[in-house]
Structure 1
Amino acid sequence: MPATLIAVHTMKGGSGKSTITTILASYLRYVKQKRVLVVDADDPQYSISGIRENELSLYERLIKLTESGHTPKALGAMANTPFEKAMTERLRFNVEHQISPADFYPVLRASATTLRQVDFSADVDFDYVFLDLGGVYDTHIVDMLAKCHLVLVPFTTQNIDIRHSTDYCLMLLDSINEGSLRQTTQIRCLWNKYKFFYDKKAQLIEETIGSYFAEIDTPVAFLKARLQDADSGFDQNKMLTTLSNPVAVEGGKYANTVVELANEILVLCEPAMTTQPA
């Protein structure tokens, strides 16, 4: 069966595209046991593949230390940086739950040009493929978005981010009207780095975005789940790819909203697994 393609995309840097991609992929793989692939086409940063390389390098060293008699707890006490501390926590959890590097979802680096040539309609060994695309809006990007079942557009409550994300939604609308994007592509906006006292402002933005798309068949709306501003102490952990973050950091508004978001996306995407785009 072909995979369900998901892209978290906008042109504004700092909106959380790579972070959201990582936490969703990790949750679906390590909690929901889905077969997940992440394709990092965010040239030239390639942040997700860079993070995975750093993780694996340290993870292999930690594994060797455990084989020589060190416990994950002892390694945590020896950690010198927040990254090392976070990785020892990952190792501890993975050892307890029998998660090995063979269970980690693959992260592939690709250029947007190469990605356009991939036939994602073919049968593959993955349930979900996440595309981490660059922060531009050109023909390469539009072609890839046209292959996706779900396009997630992150918003933050910063005025400049709202303006850029709104402009991006209007560009999507233009592409739909021009026929370069399918009207059946599911487009959903989501709040990231959300603070509860922005509720009235958020409601106004949601209504405005909905009105832009009201006259066409493409339903565009905000997801109900709002990713809270990260809890204290969570920032250093949330971008790691080798464990589901909500499991590693139990409780807290951020972890809870990650679970809510992932489950909402599963409801949106499961029907797509039987109705693939051409």
Structure 2
Amino acid sequence: MTDPKFVAFSTQKGGAGKTTLTVLAASYLYYVRGLKVLVVDCDFPQYSIEDMRERDKELIECSPVFKKMFSDNMRLTKLAPYPVLSAQPENAMRKVREIIDDCEDEIDIVFFDLPGTVNNPGVVSILNCLDMVIVPVAADKVILESSLAFALKIQEWLTTGRTSVKQMYMLWNLVDAREKTDLYDQYEAVFEEYGLQTMKTKIPDTKKYRREGSKTLNRAVFRSTLVPPDKTLLKGTRLPELADELLGILNQ
């Protein structure tokens, strides 16, 4: 990659997994694939990713197991933790540009964690700069309707010139293996009728995606801003496949 690519997992419905997907994609691509990333937490006022980074830092101090994971990863990869920038949407792009200009190493991907409210001038200004918006969607009526409404709003803005997002994809998240595959095919046919593209990778509903470090439990970690997803937990998560598909789309 030559110029940084700007990407957001975004939707207006809480619980669809956008913050978790942002962290996991950033950590996997940075610590495992070696791409330089910047994560921008614009989800004011909760700043979930900033809070996660602070929890990770606390674990280094109080959990010998997590501290060893962190030290081993630093020794193996020679990588300091990727930067997490917290900024309100209206200030985010200015601060991102400053970081990119001041950074000695080129940044490959900037991930944005956006608030759910799109009718915000700051959010619109960020959307205007994005190379790709990924809308997590689940086979749950509330999440499905909310995510579809969000995607159609962005698509409406695209057709009217209010935003210039380069690409937008729906992403199946929280997929239950017991559900019939034709259910997703039927939903995707509806997406296609609306002119919406869907990523091929489907993310399963697995507790691994929520496994963070623990102050009391000596266990492998999957979701963290300071260490990569544990290799022993990767099987069946479809995270490597998601990373491959994401990079393939961005490099088209």
Equivalent residue in structure 2 for 1:132, among 104, 113, 138: 113
After superposition, residues 59-208 of structure 1 pair within 5 angstroms as: 59-62=60-63, 75-76=64-65, 87=66, 90-91=69-70, 93-94=72-73, 98-99=76-77, 103-118=80-95, 120=97, 125-138=106-119, 139-182=121-164, 185-196=166-177, 197-208=179-190
Larger radius of gyration: 1
Q: Structure 2 length as normaliser, TM-score?
A: 0.85
Unaligned runs of 5+ in 2: 213-221
Q: Distance in 2 between matches of 1:89 and 1:200?
A: 45
For residues 228-272 of structure 1, give each alpha carbon's deviation from its aligned partner in whole angstroms, at most 9, with x where no partner exists: 1115x5532343111221525242x12xx011001100111124x
Q: Which residue of 1 aligns with 2:217?
A: none
What is the match of residue 70 of structure 1?
Answer: none
Identity %: 28
- Separation in 1, partners of 2:92, 2:54: 21
Unaligned runs of 5+ in 1: 63-74, 77-86, 214-219, 272-278
Shift of 1:6: 0.4
Task: Tell me, in whole angstroms, the C-alpha distance in 2 between the residues paired with 1:2 and 1:234.
Answer: 30
Residue in structure 2 matching 1:236, options 208, 211, 229: 211
- SS, match of residue 173 in structure 1: helix
Task: Report how far residue 98 of structure 1 moved.
Answer: 2.6
Is the deviation greater in 258-267 or in 50-59?
50-59
Q: Which amino acid letter does the alignment assign opposite residue 186 of structure 1? A: Q
Q: 1:246 and 1:61 mapped to 2: Cα distance?
A: 20
Deviation at 1:181, TM superposition (A): 1.7
Aligned-residue RMSD, C-alpha: 2.3
Alignment partner of 2:76: what SS? coil
For residue 117 of structure 1, give the secondary structure of its aligned residue in structure 2.
helix
Distance across 1 between alignment mates of 2:11 and 2:234: 30
Q: Do the aligned partners of residues 185 and 55 (structure 1) sit closer, same or farther apart at CA in structure 2, a change above 3 Å counting? A: same
Deviations 1:201-254 (A, max 9, x none): 2111111111112xxxxxx311111111115x5532343111221525242x12
**What SS is found at the alignment partner of 2:174?**
strand
Task: Kindly provide the CA deviation profile for residues 48-97 of structure 1, in whole angstroms up to 9, marking residues without a partner as x.
Answer: 011101211321455xxxxxxxxxxxx44xxxxxxxxxx357337526x5
Q: Are 2:208 and 1:226 aligned? A: no
- Which shifted more, 258-267 or 136-145? 136-145
* Partner secondary structure for residue 38 of structure 2: strand
2:246, 2:233 → 1: CA distance?
Answer: 21
Q: Letter of the aligned partner of 1:94 in structure 2?
A: N
Q: Which runs of 4+ in 1 moved over 6 A?
A: none
When the two structures are superposed, what TM-score results if normalisation uses the length of structure 1?
Answer: 0.77
**What's the counterpart of residue 276 of structure 1?**
none
